[in-house]
A and B are shown apart, each in its own frame.
Chain A
Amino acid sequence: MRRVAIVQGEYHVVYQPGVVISTLLGSCVAACLQDPVARVGGMNHFLLGEPGADVPVNPADMQRYGVHAMELLINDLMKRGAQRSRLRGHLYGGANIVAGLGGIGTKNGQFARNFMRTEGIALDHCDLGGTQARKVEFMPYEGRVRATLVQDQPLPPVERPRPAPVAQPTGELELF
């Protein structure tokens, strides 16, 4: 069995048997999506739903936002044979572990639920909210997910998206 751990801003797609994707969540949310016919699936881990209109964000940090993290995951699944209409999902995380953060976990959970509803993706299981961290393990090929509450394990530090720099090289092609 092969294990792949992801952290905030990352996603991973699997189409082989015997691979476990895992992550540790506090207020962040992980979406586990699977196409049970194509037997391909993947998990992401995002920090916030979407950036505020007036919040400058470093482009490199954009995939920490759910709206982009979900698209990257779905696009990769479709490249590997999944069909959007067959996707089924599980959502985990969105805990309010630290008081005074304005219910950020609740907002993340709401974003994730709204996204699944808006995009018409079947939601098989939802384990969001509460005040405890979760460890999530997902076997995409087999379509199995396990989430356990974690009490005494330190969470990875939450890295807020950095302010956008004045100018930075993007590595883009300069065609225009």
Chain B
Amino acid sequence: MPAASAIKVMVVDDQTSMRAMIRRALQDLGFKDIRDKAGPVEALAAIKADRVHLIISDYNMPDMDGLQFLEAVRQDPVIGKTVFIMLTGSADKEIVQKAAALGVNNYVVKPFAPAALKEKIERVFGELV
């Protein structure tokens, strides 16, 4: 069972309040190393400079959407295997299918409860301690 405290996370969402809420949910799950960015461009630069184990990214962002971000991550030879969990709107099944084709590890439908985020992370990493 992996220790949540050992997993480095990057949270990407253009809404400050949502990033703060996800950060608090992750802290409650035991995560310690949590970084966040308002958009994929800044996040990509930060992840390339200092790698993380897990990316949690919104889909709906103004400059580069979550699918484009996922594709950029997967095409990068250094960070391409980073676990990627996408946050999508409830009516975005087509987006989920596209994300699956691009290699997303899991997804969480917004609005979500913290327990749903935990469940999706554990489906990838195993039960967190």
Interface digits, B98-119 against A, CB 8 Å rule (1 contact, 0 not)?
A: 0010000111011111111000
Q: How far is the CB of A62 from chain B (nearest CB, A)?
A: 3
A67-B21, A172-B109 known; A53-B123 Cβ under 8 A: no
B93/A173 in contact, CB under 8 A = yes
A53-B28, A84-B62, A176-B106 known; A59-B97 Cβ under 8 A: no
Interface digits, A138-176 against B, CB 8 Å rule (1 contact, 0 not)?
A: 000000000000000000000000001000001011011
A170/B109 in contact, CB under 8 A = yes
B114/A71 in contact, CB under 8 A = no
Bound-state CA distance A71–B111 (Å) is 9
B28/A173 in contact, CB under 8 A = no
Chain B residues with Cβ below 8 Å from A57 are: 113
Chain A residues with Cβ below 8 Å from B105 are: 176
Chain B residues with Cβ below 8 Å from A51 are: 113-114
Interface size in chain B (residues, C-beta < 8 A): 30
Interface digits, A49-79 against B, CB 8 Å rule (1 contact, 0 not)?
A: 0110110111100110101101110110010
The interface residues of chain B, by DSSP majority, are classed as helix
Bound-state CA distance A78–B58 (Å) is 15
Q: Is the CB of B75 closer than 8 A to any CB of chain A?
A: no
Contact of B113 among A56, A118, A173, A175 (CB under 8 A): A56
Interface digits, B41-77 against A, CB 8 Å rule (1 contact, 0 not)?
A: 0000000000000000000101000000000000000
| Beyond A56-B115, A62-B113, 20 additional pairs, beta carbon < 8 A | A53-B24, A59-B111, A59-B112, A59-B116, A62-B111, A63-B111, A67-B21, A70-B17, A71-B17, A71-B110, A71-B111, A72-B110, A72-B111, A75-B60, A84-B14, A118-B16, A118-B20, A164-B113, A173-B93, A175-B96
The 8 closest A-B pairs by CB, nearest first: A62-B111, A68-B111, A57-B113, A53-B28, A118-B16, A63-B111, A175-B100, A75-B60
Give me 29 A-to-B residue pairs in the complex whose CB atoms sit less than 8 angstroms apart, sorted by A's number.
A51-B113, A53-B25, A53-B28, A54-B28, A58-B113, A59-B109, A59-B112, A59-B113, A62-B110, A62-B111, A62-B113, A63-B111, A67-B17, A70-B17, A71-B17, A71-B18, A71-B110, A71-B111, A72-B110, A72-B111, A74-B15, A115-B17, A118-B17, A119-B16, A119-B17, A164-B115, A173-B96, A175-B97, A175-B107
Residues of B within 8 A of A (CB): 14-18, 20-21, 24-25, 28, 60, 62, 89, 93, 96-97, 100, 105-107, 109-116, 123-124
Residues of A within 8 A of B (CB): 50-51, 53-54, 56-59, 62-63, 65, 67-68, 70-72, 74-75, 78, 84, 115, 118-119, 164, 170, 172-173, 175-176
